[in-house]
């Protein structure tokens, strides 16, 4: 297995600011990092050394990637028992919370949501090209950034002006795939990588074959992407909301499952966008589209929407 290790960052090079989120591993804080003669706003994942195995893998995987739709890692610092993973800052937070918080006051237009999905598909295709299985793609792991935002501290005010400008133009936020804590390199021999049986599993996002024998590959990422698309179109609703986790497992492992009765289509969704969700969640892995095909579909749908609507 290829070993990737993240760039070490000195504890003196960054400052930790307010807490902006938390997860299984610890907290996420906003911060400022001084690197290469420039101060940048960043997100800092803080975790204890003994739970740090995943975060080391995550850091190594993330730092070797450069793609507009994958969250970048600045590097890693370990200091008296704590591990700090410094990430590119996404000012709008994760897509699930962002869409849910706006859904009443100022709902995000359909066209923007489709453009978010197109970007997520691009990030996923990139990971796929790098032979990485994400294994935890979900709206909570899609981070959003104001378009043209400058995380350089000096340019923060400029960024606010940009924000108003982009809101006016109805430009989509930048969407970035994050949380590669579960990501693994695809085993070339088996084409599958095993999911740990002990870890907490995101069953609502897991493909039937992944639930049944813990196999994860590109097709299981595509399934999870389909669930993510449904979440994003539904403004951050919980998939299979009426069911308990155990009931979801029973449901998804039934080959006669008609998923459209659970992941329901809303009236204002077009048939072709809903078709994508159903294609991604086909019971047979071979029936699911590739991320390449998905990108083409989204691009076509966005182009057609552009012709039909004024926004
Ligand atoms: P999971 O439980 O899905 O494994 P996690 O415990 O690894 O998630 P993250 O999803 O990495 O935690 O982060 C928790 C929250 O912190 C996110 O939902 C998001 O709101 C915020 N966050 C994480 N990374 C960033 C970032 N780079 N920029 C801005 N906010 C972030």
Residue whose structure tokens are 């919980």: 238
Closest-lying ligand 1 atom to the alpha carbon of residue 71 = 27
Pocket lined around ligand 1, Cβ cut-off 6 Å:
20-21, 23-25, 28, 43, 71, 87-90, 93-94, 136, 140-141, 143, 178-179, 181
- How far is ligand 1, taken at its centre, from the CA of residue 270, in Å? 31
- Phi and psi of 244, rounded to 5°? -80, 160
pTM, to two decimals: 0.88
Closest-lying ligand 1 atom to the alpha carbon of residue 176 = 27
Q: Copy the structure tokens of residue 273.
A: 């966008």
CA distance 178 to 146: 16
Helix or strand run (H / E) with residue 103:
none
CA distance 205 to 226: 9
Judge whether 244 is annotated as a binding position: no
Q: DSSP state, 178? A: -
- How far is ligand 1, taken at its centre, from the CA of residue 77, in Å? 18
ipTM above 0.90, yes or no: yes
- How far is ligand 1, taken at its centre, from the CA of residue 71, in Å? 11
Residue with CA at minimum distance from ligand 1 atom 15: 21
CA distance 258 to 129: 31
Residue with CA at minimum distance from ligand 1 atom 12: 23
Asked if 111 and 60 touch (Cβ cutoff 8 Å), the reply is no
Residue with CA at minimum distance from ligand 1 atom 5: 23
- In tens digits, the chain (311 residues) has pLDDT values of 344 667 889 999 999 999 999 877 789 999 999 998 999 999 999 988 776 567 777 777 778 889 999 999 899 898 888 889 999 999 999 999 999 999 888 888 999 999 999 999 999 999 999 988 998 999 999 999 998 666 666 556 666 666 665 555 567 899 999 977 666 666 544 444 555 444 567 899 999 999 998 788 999 999 999 999 999 999 999 999 999 999 999 999 998 989 999 999 999 999 999 999 999 999 999 999 999 999 999 999 998 887 655 44
Closest-lying ligand 1 atom to the alpha carbon of residue 138 = 3
């Amino acid at each position: 297995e290829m070993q990737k290790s993240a760039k070490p960052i000195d504890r003196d090079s960054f400052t930790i600011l307010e807490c902006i989120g938390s997860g299984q591993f610890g907290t996420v804080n906003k911060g400022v990092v001084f690197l290469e003669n420039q101060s940048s706003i960043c997100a800092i994942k803080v975790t204890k050394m003994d739970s740090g195995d995943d975060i080391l893998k995550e850091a190594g995987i993330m730092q070797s990637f450069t793609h507009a739709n994958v969250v970048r890692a600045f590097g890693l610092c370990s200091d008296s028992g704590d591990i700090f993973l410094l990430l590119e800052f996404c000012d709008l937070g994760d897509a699930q919370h962002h869409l849910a918080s706006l859904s009443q006051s100022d709902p995000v237009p359909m066209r923007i949501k489709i453009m978010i999905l197109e970007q997520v598909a691009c990030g996923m295709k990139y990971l796929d090209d790098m032979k990485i299985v994400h294994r935890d793609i979900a709206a909570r792991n899609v981070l959003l950034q104001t378009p043209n935002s400058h995380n350089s501290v000096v340019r923060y005010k400029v960024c606010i002006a940009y924000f108003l400008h982009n809101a006016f133009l109805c430009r989509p936020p930048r969407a970035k795939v994050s949380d590669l804590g579960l990501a693994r390199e695809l085993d070339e021999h088996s084409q599958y990588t095993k999911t740990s049986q002990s870890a907490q599993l995101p069953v609502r996002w897991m493909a039937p074959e992944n639930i049944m024998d813990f196999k994860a590959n590109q097709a299981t990422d595509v399934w999870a992407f389909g669930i993510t698309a449904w979440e994003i179109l539904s403004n951050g609703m919980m998939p299979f909301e009426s069911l308990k986790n155990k009931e979801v497992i029973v449901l998804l492992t039934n080959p006669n499952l008609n998923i459209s009765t659970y992941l329901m289509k809303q009236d204002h969704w077009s048939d072709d966008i809903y078709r994508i969700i159903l294609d991604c969640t086909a019971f047979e892995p071979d029936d699911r589209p590739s991320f390449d095909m998905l990108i083409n579909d989204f691009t076509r749908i966005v182009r057609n929407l552009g012709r039909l609507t004024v926004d």
